[in-house]
Amino acid sequence: MKARVANAGRARSAGLPASESKRSPLAPKSYASLPPLAGVRMATGQAGIKYRDRTDVLMAVLAPGTQVAGVFTKSKTSAAPVEWCRKYVGGEARALVVNSGNANAFTGRAGMDAAKDVAEAAAEAVGCSAREVFMASTGVIGEPLPGEKITRILGALAERASAGGWREAAGAIMTTDTFPKMATATATIDERKVTINGIAKGSGMIAPDMATMLAFVFTDAKLPTSVLQPLLNDSAAKSFNCITVDGDTSTSDTLLLFATGKGGAHPPITKATDRDLASFKKQLDAVLLDLALQVVKDGEGAQKLIRIDVSCAQSDAAARRIALSIANSPLVKTAIGGGDANWGRIVMAVGKAGEAADRDRLKITFGNHVVAEKGQRAAGYNEALATKSVSGREVHIAVDLGLGNGAARVWTCDLTHGYIDINGSYRS
Write out the catalytic residue numbers.
212
Identify which of 1, 2, 137, 127 has the alpha carbon closest to the alpha carbon of residue 56: 137
Identify which of 233, 301, 204, 212 has the alpha carbon closest to the alpha carbon of residue 90: 233
CA distance 82 to 58: 17
CA distance 225 to 390: 44
Name 269's Cβ contacts closer than 8 Å, sequence gap at least 6. 189, 222, 223, 224, 227, 276, 277
Identify which of 360, 364, 426 has the alpha carbon closest to the alpha carbon of residue 400: 364
Identify which of 99, 96, 93, 90 has the alpha carbon closest to the alpha carbon of residue 45: 99
Contacts 24+ apart (CB under 8 A), 116-119: 116/84, 117/147, 117/148, 117/151, 118/147, 118/150, 118/151, 118/154, 119/84
Three-class HEC string of 68-127: EEEEECCCCCCCHHHHHHHHHCCCECCEEEEEEEECCCCCHHHHHHHHHHHHHHHHHHHC
Do 24 and 298 form a contact (C-beta atoms < 8 A)?
Answer: yes
